[in-house]
Structure 1
Amino acid sequence: MQKDGVNQEQLQALAQDIKNTLKASEIAQLIRLIAPTPTTGEMSAAEFETLMAELKDKSRRRGYSDTSITAARLVLVMGATVAEAAAETNVSRQAIHQVLKRIKRRMESLPENWVQVSTWLPAEIASQLEQIVTSLKSQGDSGGVQGDLALKLEVKI
């Protein structure tokens, strides 16, 4: 049976491949990324997913609940009003305003051009690196990481 130029059997096969290949959370993310979205939102679905991943990876603060993320997605991606998002998620308008404010504040506080690095190191080097990271973060919090930054990592292997 052919519908809109796509064979239903092909779609079924593709769906089965996706189920066999991806985890449930990856399928949910794929659905969010390919779902049709209006142009009234502040960002695309892909931008929102990237933002939330960055906030999770780079923030030392508590994360967001699934309900908060859903409400934020409705407003930022789908272009819903806060009242519409509140009705959809059974959360107060005030709570959604707070979540949006928290997200925007965290977006502004993330150091630009910083990336998360995760690796295994010898204990001595890891300890030195942790001290460097602490120093960089404190300089970043005070607006310092601008000029030359002399770092010495003593590697003895």
Structure 2
Amino acid sequence: MTVTVDTSRGFVVCGRGCRHWGPHGAAGLLLVHGSRILLQERTPWVHHGGTWSLPGGALHAGETARRGAHREAGEELGGLPRIRHHAIHTSDHGGWAYHTVIADTLEPFTPGRGDGEGTRADWFTPGQVGRLPLHPDFADTWPAVRALLGGRP
């Protein structure tokens, strides 16, 4: 019998002194369909619950940002549509990083019932995002991520 230890769990403190989930960093998937982006409201029991952010989470040891973002988003959204990658934005916190993987959907997508880490997911225009209660780290990176969207409304 082989026992696998999940090394992606646990909080760490980065070089800036902030507390983050995932000792190997974390990644989220920003899905874009036309002029809208998909965000997820975090359940009350997760870190920064009640805020809006990307479906995503802690990376496993040795896992790429792209693979981790796909795995986590698929779990939280109940699957993923066909996508085409656009860009990756990395926010380095000194010994810990969050990777925003940006991808265009190639078909309409309605999120399904995921693993319960989000209470709901919805599509927003980039202009609507600033009016939402955002996860603090997502709020900090949103201007740079938005710039990578290439002038969408």
Q: Which TM-score tier does this pair reach, normalised by the shorter chain?
A: under 0.3
Greater helix share, 1 or 2?
A: 1
Q: Structure 2 length normalisation: TM-score?
A: 0.25
Tell me the TM-score normalized by structure 1: 0.25
Q: Which has the higher contact order (CA 8 A, sep 6+)?
A: 2
